[in-house]
Amino acid sequence: MIQIEGTNEHALLKSISRKREEMIQVASLRGIKNKETVMQSKELDMLIILYQRHMLKI
């Protein structure tokens, strides 16, 4: 599940970093084609999109 610290730039970057680490851990244990790894990757994508949208508003 996606956990967002807040909607400011620093909080979004922190959430992205945390999700990236989670994804790497899952992938190293279960493989890159595992359902959980793919789910983590999709959640990371959503966080990155939120960050990009936030930066376009500034």
**Chain segment 1-58, per-residue pLDDT in tens:** 776 766 788 999 999 999 999 999 999 999 999 999 999 999 999 999 999 998 888 6
Q: Which residues have C-beta within 8 Å of that of residue 4, sequence separation ≥ 6?
A: 11, 12, 15, 47, 50
User: What three-state secondary structure class fits 19?
Assistant: helix
Stated pTM of the model: 0.86
HSE on the CB side for 15, CA within 13 Å? 21
Q: How far is CA 7 from its chain centroid?
A: 14
Spans of all domains in the chain:
9-57
User: What three-state secondary structure class fits 4?
Assistant: coil
Q: Which of 15, 3, 48 is nearest to 56 (CA)?
A: 48
In the block, residue with structure tokens 């970093």: 17
